[in-house]
Amino acid sequence: MTNAGFRDFRFGGSLSTPTGEKPESKLWWNDGSWWGSLWDPNASSYAIHRLDLDTQSWVSTGTLVDTRSSSRADALWDGDHLYIVSHIFTTNAGSTGSGNSGRLYRYAYHAGTRSYSLDPGFPVNVNASKSEALVLAKDSSGRLWVTWVEGGKVKVNRTLGDDLSWGQPFDLPGQGADVTTDDISGIAAFGTDRVGLMWSNQADHKMYFAAHLDGGADMQWEPREDALADATLGQMADDHINLKMSCDGSGAVYAVTKTGLTHATDPLVLVLRRQAGGAWSRHVFGTVAENHTRPILCIDRDAGTAYVFAMSDRTGRRVIYEKRASLADLGFPSGLGTPFIDSPDDPAVSNPTSTKQCVGRASGLVVLASDQDTQYYLHNYLSLVPPPSIASFVPTDGPVGGEVTLTGTGFSGATAVEFNGTPAASYIVDSDAQIRATVPPGATTGRIVVTTPAGSGLSGSDFTVILSPTTTVLQSSANPSTWGAQVVLEATVAPAAATGTVRFFDGVTPLGTAPVSGGLATLSVNTLAVGQHELTASYDGGAWYAGSSSAPWSQAVDFASTTAVLDAQPAETHCA
């Protein structure tokens, strides 16, 4: 049982960290689903899997990727093809034979069968090296780029004409001093016409960045930039980089990196932003005291939010935590964050990974991780559909049974509308921006709430419930009636849902009261005197209905009819 997230299947075998490494992405979003390159123990190979959101489980498609169990991969979906670059993982990078070289796999997607197939001619080698990381990007001209660190240098390679043809790897021009064996690099397309490459250099305590103009000469890179440097603090570099492009067309670049600082209050994990003009800023995600590591970054294009996921063991076991911040200020909250993947059965969970793509309402966000000891995959899914927001409603007051039109955002999939806690009698979702709801019996003056799977939205002001108008009509069971006989007075109250009490009067003299049931109140009387009476019925009103009085009912009461009985026998006659 997990405290946060979902425990997936056991990958087993000789694998330890199949969701590593830090700059790489194992997941992508396509055709309404999340997909990933996960190790399939039944096939003894990495394979393309689809996440079934209904069951929160990964399903293998049977399409294989790399059979090398010591390989790691970086996946890129460009809307037409799936690219996966795979390499043998090592912390001591160097040259290797063709069988252990970095490889590019390219797949076609078949929407009808929701499946992938390897394109002819693939895989193709992209280098003759094994490395800690190998990262892939595609520029606006369609050229593919990869980067890795080997022999103290940041290495680069690129396609020549098509995806099958690769040039000779070269050292990134202008990179400066040699890097350490523990340094890494990452690359991403950004703006509309560039790729950007970031690398760590723990020898000179800095994080660097260089850009290449799409279509420019291979060796012509823009001058190296100090993405992160601080002579006062010191070691600002470590081998933790996750690079992302902006999603708003601004041309900005974002990265989450880790420093090598050691004091408890020092920044350990930072989010860096490069504006289109080249200015860098840094924003603290976590301090040394919180001990976050292996951070990754995802950007929600719809909400303008940056999400960072990182592992920390500060609670006694490893947990993947999440923090978020608006792109407007990148102000992350202090502390460890919210547990996103937390399993007591998998206390060594680490190496979170996700996608290169921008995410949003349609996709949501998935993070995959793994435990090198239990050898289980774990993941979690975060819906990015924001809770509904009520901007206004009309009318602002009305009776039970009246219709209220609400405008706002995020109404799609609404599961409830409430008037001060009372569920609406009915509601219709016209669009994501409009709902029409009927004021229910029992509603009282107060706020309106709309609820969707993403949460609840509260109106900014009260809806005032006005008592519904009623009518009362009086009649009797007999008119005229006879003095002393029972007469049933019938008061019909509309609407029939009204409840309460009706009082009956003879002029101003009370005759009695009766409850309203089904819109009818009745009272039997036999005390009306002979003559003409102006009777009325008065409904007192109820919790949701206003009172009303009937028009006078003219009731005539007559004497009881009498009949004289004559004795028909002759009278007796007496003679004297």
Is the predicted pLDDT of residue 127 greater than 60, yes or no? yes
pLDDT digits (tens, 9 = 90+) for 366-422: 999 999 999 999 999 999 988 999 999 999 999 888 999 999 999 999 999 999 999
Longest dimension (CA), the chain: 170
Contact by Cβ (8 Å): 220, 210: no
Task: Quickly list DSSP for 439-486.
Answer: PPTT--SB-EEEEETTEEEE-SSPBEEEPBP-EEEEEES-SSEETTS-
CA proximity to 394, closest of 466, 452, 463: 463
Distance of CA 446 to the CA centre of its chain: 28
Q: At 516, which helix (H) or strand (E)?
A: strand 509-516
Question: Can you say how many angstroms the Cα of residue 377 is from the centroid of all Cα atoms in its chain?
Answer: 23
Rounded CA gap, 484 and 487, in Å? 9
What does the pLDDT read at residue 115? 98
> Is 237 a residue whose pLDDT tops 80?
yes
Has residue 364 got a pLDDT over 80? yes
The whole-number average pLDDT for the span 489-496 is 96
Task: Identify the DSSP state of 528.
Answer: P
**Nearest C-alpha neighbor of 154 from the set 181, 125, 118, 128:** 181
pLDDT at 543: 75
The pLDDT of residue 572 is above 70:
no
- pTM for the model stands at 0.80
What contacts 411, CB < 8 A, 6 or more positions away?
A: 388, 429, 431, 432, 433, 434, 435, 450, 452
Residue-level pLDDT at 366: 98
- Non-local (6+) Cβ contacts of 330 within 8 A are 271, 273, 281, 283, 306
Q: Is the pLDDT of residue 566 over 50?
A: no
Average pLDDT (144-151) is 98
Consecutive H or E run containing 419: strand 416-419
Q: Give the C-alpha separation, 547 to 402, whole Å.
A: 18
Among 10-14, 46-50, 368-372, 440-444, whose mean pLDDT is lowest? Answer: 440-444
Is residue 569 predicted with pLDDT exceeding 70? no
> Average model confidence (pLDDT) for the chain?
95
Q: What is the pLDDT of residues 531-546, one digit of tens each?
A: 999 999 999 998 778 9
pLDDT at 573 over 80: no
3-state DSSP call for residue 290? helix
Pair 417, 459: CB distance under 8 Å: no
Domain architecture of the chain: domains with CATH: 6-382 (2.120.10.80), 389-466 (2.60.40.10), 471-558 (2.60.40.10)
User: Do 472 and 542 meet the contact criterion of CB atoms below 8 Å apart?
Assistant: no
User: Looking at residue 544, what is its pLDDT?
Assistant: 79
Element containing residue 319 per DSSP (H, E): strand 319-326
Q: Which two tokens stand for residue 214?
A: 């799409």
Instruction: List pLDDT tens digits, range 258-316.
Output: 999 999 999 999 999 999 999 999 999 999 999 999 999 999 999 999 999 999 999 99
CA dist 493 and 489 (Å) reads: 13
Cβ atoms of 322 and 337 within 8 Å: the answer is yes
